[in-house]
Structure 1
């Protein structure tokens, strides 16, 4: 691995403050006019990325933050955000806060926490995307269902289309490997 220059090391130190490559480049002494591009270029260098990763790992260890801690706190935020909290108003007669009878729910907080939990556990990884064959199978099943509904409703649909879709469906089931 090649050695970092003092200016690159300063860039890394500045970058770790706010994770803003443009501002870090400026603070490290790179040209203000080209700081955006310079910051982006520096973040593509393997030796700089390795040093940043090393510093992030040190910081996480120092602050006792790991993946379990992050996930546990996402769960807490989601649970707190999904509670219906009573809206409080000031009662001038009793001179205290009282429930108004209305409730609020932090849907934005709940959605963001749930999204982060999903990302954290890999729910949105590519392995959960449908393959082209699965999409085609769903389309064929949908067409077959539509035609069956027409027949059940007494419509005089084209039975040749039903036969064609049924054959396509059977062919796709033979090719999916699980016999369904």
Structure 2
């Protein structure tokens, strides 16, 4: 089934912020029923296919794919603080940092502190990306299963049917 112009507009608007209700309103559906309409639209296979198609087109345009994401995770994993320090342990000027450092840090705080009659001192604080989360994402990509948090509920015969527990009673010697 071909999409109506309004449904196609809904798909395009949905990609803006992934907010289906707002996408429905922006596409011209009634604000009163936008929530219900959005839910109905997202349940339709043709609309799901169109959204997937539009996402793929957008990803191709910006060059984002699984290889890009994996390469970035590897870059982050291999970040070494020595890349941004001089031989005396001072921070290099930011312009001399490798690109991965300039594009990945969570934050960089520089505070100038002065005391009356003393010279100024700079306090520099670097906020690293979350390396543990990064490794978890890498592990999930290659299916390490080190981070798997599932419980296997299958019984020994491979079914989900619980097996009866057999309790062996041992004879009790009478007390004399």
TM-score category by the smaller chain? 0.5 to 0.7
Equivalent residue number for residue 119 of structure 2: 94
Q: Find the aligned partners of 1:122 and 1:68 in 2 and give their Cα distance.
A: 15
Equivalent residue number for residue 141 of structure 2: 120
TM-score w.r.t. length of structure 1? 0.55
Given the superposition, is the C-alpha separation of residues 26 and 116 from structure 1 closer, same or farther in structure 2, using an over 3 Å criterion? Answer: farther
Q: Give the SS at the match of 1:94.
A: coil
1:81-112 per-position Cα deviation (integer Å, ceiling 9, x unaligned) = x96x997542323334145xxx77657x3454
Say if 1:26 and 1:35, in contact at 8 Å, map to a contact too: yes
Given the superposition, is the C-alpha separation of residues 8 and 113 from structure 1 closer, same or farther in structure 2, using an over 3 Å criterion? Answer: same
Q: Find the aligned partners of 1:112 and 1:65 in 2 and give their Cα distance.
A: 20
Equivalent in 117, 131, 149 of residue 152 of structure 2: 131
Q: CA deviation at 1:72?
A: 2.2
Q: CA deviation at 1:129?
A: 3.8
Q: Find the aligned partners of 1:133 and 1:4 in 2 and give their Cα distance.
A: 44
Say if 1:21 and 1:40, in contact at 8 Å, map to a contact too: yes
Q: Give the SS at the match of 1:43.
A: helix
Paired positions, count: 131
Q: Find the aligned partners of 1:130 and 1:69 in 2 and give their Cα distance.
A: 32
| Matching of residue 43 in structure 1 with residue 42 in structure 2 | yes
Could you list the runs of 5+ residues in structure 2 that have no partner in the other structure? 85-90, 92-108, 157-167, 171-176
TM-score w.r.t. length of structure 2? 0.56
1:32-71 per-position Cα deviation (integer Å, ceiling 9, x unaligned) = 1221221121111111111111111111111111101112
Q: Give the SS at the match of 1:97.
A: strand
Q: Find the aligned partners of 1:94 and 1:130 in 2 and give their Cα distance.
A: 61
CA-atom RMSD in angstroms: 4.0
Equivalent residue number for residue 3 of structure 1: 2
The equivalences for 1:162-173 within 5 A come to none
